[in-house]
Amino acid sequence: DGGITQSPKYLFRKEGQNVTLSCEQNLNHDAMYWYRQDPGQGLRLIYYSQIVNDFQKGDIAEGYSVSREKKESFPLTVTSAQKNPTAFYLCASSTREYQETQYFGPGTRLLVL
Amino acid sequence: RKEVEQDPGPFNVPEGATVAFNCTYSNSASQSFFWYRQDCRKEPKLLMSVYSSGNEDGRFTAQLNRASQYISLLIRDSKLSDSATYLCVVKKGGGSYIPTFGRGTSLIVHP
């Protein structure tokens, strides 16, 4: 089955620690995205990538980093510079056609110890 | 003014009721419109695309009003399982495929 997978489902971060969230898709989509969702809030775009080896900052990129070495993979690193990382992180992918929709992974819930 | 605005609700309705949500968008160049459903602590899932001519999928009807810059979602004969948050999504045209999400409207259907 085609789809998007994210791991882990839950992740705990200690103070000063960098953690990496995994996102993989087998939909052959060019574009991939990372969103953050806080309780009762909408989705905020962290980073997006249109093509391998290229990515752009979204609205709230500070304290995060990404890479796009393969079409299928778009990992997100939450660095120690992100002072309030507790949130629900969602990865999505799509084609680059404006009329096409996004497909989301099941999300990773990050908690700070 | 936010790019995409929704009434957060919650909308509390009894089973069998008809309920409608609106979503306004500020960019007149917007070309593509979608409704997503998000269950508690889950990822958003596409409910339906919204076409200029409107579209219907069972109990759900979506409409687009370009003149007033809003889209709507009508749910007829509400079920308990319809309880969720409904997200409005808008994409601009002109080569931009990055969507803008509304904050969502919460629907609670009670017995």
User: Average pLDDT over chain A, rounded to whole?
Assistant: 92
Distance from CA of B61 to the nearest CA of A (A): 18
| Residue B14 distance to chain A (closest CA, Å) | 23
Split at pLDDT 50, 70, 90, the class of B95 is low
Residue at A13: amino acid letter: R
Among A99, A100, A111, most B C-beta atoms within 10 A, so best to mutate, is A99
Please name every residue paired with B100 in a beta bridge, in sequence order, or none if there are none.
B90
pLDDT score of A1 more than 70? no
Q: What is the pLDDT of residues B9-55, one digit of tens each?
A: 999 999 999 999 999 999 888 888 999 999 998 999 999 999 888 89
Q: Chain B contacts of A95, Cβ < 8 Å?
A: 97
Mean pLDDT score, A48-53: 93
**HSE of A20, CA atoms in CB hemisphere, 13 A:** 9
| Residue A21 Cα, gap to closest chain B Cα (Å) | 16
DSSP string, A55-110: EEE-TT-TTEEE--SBTTB--EEE-TT-S---EEEEEEEE-S-TTSPPEE---EEE
Whether A73 has a pLDDT exceeding 70, the answer reads yes
